[in-house]
């Protein structure tokens, strides 16, 4: 006869197993999306997404968030600046520093990539016979997982 402790342990094991699958499948989805859009440089889109997520940020903050060196991030930011997608603005609290922010052209480029990504995922969700409700549940779970727990 199963005890309450056994049931709780089985539940915890199943949650851990499914959580692992969520991480693995999320990473695979990101790689698949990147492969489908060969004309977009993944590093550029990643940096644009970071600026979108973090808001105007220093190169150091972006480098730390991307887990790359500051010189690498500087090169990426400069390249995106040359395309007119990012711009450097004076830092309000530090005259020696600047904040990297997205331009209107950069926002349009990122929105375009995201629309294409959404179209690919929507096509696969539909082909798999999944409902909008099931997709909404998946989105809610990912959103919850990405929301930091209160300290």
- Looking at the domain assignment, is residue 142 inside a domain? no
The CATH number given to whatever domain includes residue 91 is 1.10.10.10
Domain count, the chain: 2
pTM for this structure? 0.83
Q: How far apart are alpha carbons 79 and 47 in whole angstroms?
A: 11
Instruction: Give the chain's residues under pLDDT 70.
Output: 38-40
- Looking at the domain assignment, is residue 151 inside a domain? no
- Looking at the domain assignment, is residue 60 inside a domain? yes
CB 44 within 8 A of CB 80: yes
Shared domain for 25 and 79, answered yes or no, is no
Q: Would you state the pLDDT for residue 140?
A: 94
Q: Would you state the pLDDT for residue 19?
A: 92
**Domain enclosing residue 6, as ranges:** 1-36
Closest alpha carbon to 103 in 90, 88, 82, 85: 85
Q: Would you state the pLDDT for residue 10?
A: 87
> Could you read off the pLDDT of 66-84 as tens digits, one per residue?
999 999 999 999 999 999 9
- Looking at the domain assignment, is residue 139 inside a domain? no
Shared domain for 126 and 99, answered yes or no, is yes
The label of the residue with tokens 């973090």 reads 54
């Amino acid at each position: 006869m199963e005890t309450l402790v056994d049931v709780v342990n089985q539940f915890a094991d199943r949650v851990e197993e499914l959580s692992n699958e969520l991480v693995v499948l999320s990473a695979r989805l990101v790689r698949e999306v990147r492969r489908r859009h060969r004309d977009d440089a993944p590093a550029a889109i990643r940096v644009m997404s970071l600026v979108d997520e973090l808001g105007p940020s220093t190169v150091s903050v972006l480098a730390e968030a991307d887990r790359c060196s500051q010189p690498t991030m500087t090169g990426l930011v400069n390249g995106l600046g040359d395309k007119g997608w990012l711009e450097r603005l004076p830092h309000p609290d530090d005259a020696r520093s600047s904040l990297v922010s997205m331009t209107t052209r950069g926002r349009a480029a990122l929105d375009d990539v995201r629309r294409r990504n959404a179209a690919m995922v929507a096509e696969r969700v539909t082909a798999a016979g999944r409902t909008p409700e099931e997709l909404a549940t998946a989105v809610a779970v990912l959103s919850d997982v990405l929301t930091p727990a209160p300290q």
